[in-house]
Structure 1
Amino acid sequence: MKPEFTVDELVPHSGQMSLLSEITDYGEEWLSAAVDITPTSMFADEKGVPAWVGLEYMAQAIGAYAGLQERKQGREPKLGFLLGTRKYSVPVAYFVLGERIEVRVTKNMEAENGLCAFDCELHGQRFEAVASLNIFQPDDADTFLREAQQ
């Protein structure tokens, strides 16, 4: 399906903290995106971007998926929180400059209370990486954060 929204319209991050380059495709339970590794990429140094940042690429792709669901309902995207990950395995230390990384996230569980689990994949020219991410998306993130501070 041709993406009808941009990253900026789906992910509530802004400026340099918005790490996805584009939404490439999506379906009912999944979304694919791309990340272009450039010298101006957040976290980049002379070697590229450290591979641990791949978790954030996955999390932001999940955010884009959730934002897409909200947009389809005529609502604004909401904030979500990465609770944890299982089995993040990537065979490289860095994503190299000039590399394009494909990110795919597939929802495998959603509870009524805002908890979700996703299976995630990263594909580059030199590697494949996988992880399972657990996400929490409250109805009202501002209220949730205020209550968490008390």
Structure 2
Amino acid sequence: MIAWPIADLIPHAGDMILVDQVLAFDDDSIHTQLVVRPGGLFNREDGSLPAWIGIELMAQSVAAFAGCQARLRGQPVELGFLLGTRKFECNVEHFPAGTELTIHGLRSLQDDSGMGVFECHLTGPGIHAQARLNVYRPPQAAEYLAAAPAQESSHD
């Protein structure tokens, strides 16, 4: 298990942090874990999480990977973007409350512009989900966001 708190590795806060901890990581992969707890922003009435949240769990694991890499280099954790997913498949409709889930993300591509592709698997008792995540982390995220044109609103 990694000693860094997950909140120090991903640019999320409060109830938006869904992953509990990083179990291990290396140059190209990460293993994270969480226990499904009722009462969160995305929980169903029975305390379970809908299976589509698996995409966000995978994305937060990829964000934690980037955070671990930044921490190793002595750099700040920066914002990244989930551009899309391909081939999301899950064998269940929801993840029951109390279930321990493990996510494995393997980087299959990353270029100098900040584009990356990760093959992700989410597992738990009788649960398997997988997807390919396309992500983008601009080299200077703060400058990238500041350069975005402001949207003007009009009132009739």
Give the TM-score, by structure 1 length: 0.93
Output the CA distance in 1 between the equivalents of 2:76 and 2:147: 22
Per the TM alignment, residue 103 of structure 1 is displaced from its structure 2 partner at its CA by 0.5
Identity %: 32
**Displacement of 1:40:** 2.6
Q: Is the 8 A contact 1:104 1:121 kept in 2?
A: yes
Which of 1 and 2 has greater Rg? 2
State the Cα RMSD in Å: 1.3
Letter in 2 for 1:57: L
Separation in 2, partners of 1:85, 1:148: 24
Question: Paired residue for 2:40?
Answer: 41
Structure 2: give runs of 5+ residues left out of the alignment: 151-156
Runs of 4+ aligned residues of structure 1 deviating over 4 Å after TM superposition are none
Work out whether 1:93 is the aligned partner of 2:131: no
Alpha-carbon deviations, 1:60-91, whole Å to 9, x = none?
00000000110001111111000011000001
Q: Deviations over 1:20-64 (max 9, x none)?
A: 011111122111011211113330122311110110000000000
Q: How many Å separate the matches in 2 of 1:77 and 1:18?
A: 15
**Which segment is superposed worse, 99-108 or 39-48?**
39-48
The code of the aligned residue for 2:79 comes to: L
TM-score, with structure 2 as normaliser? 0.90
Given the alignment of the two structures, is residue 27 of structure 1 paired with residue 30 of structure 2, yes or no?
no
Which has the larger helix fraction?
1
- Distance between the aligned counterparts of 1:5 and 1:42, measured in 2? 24
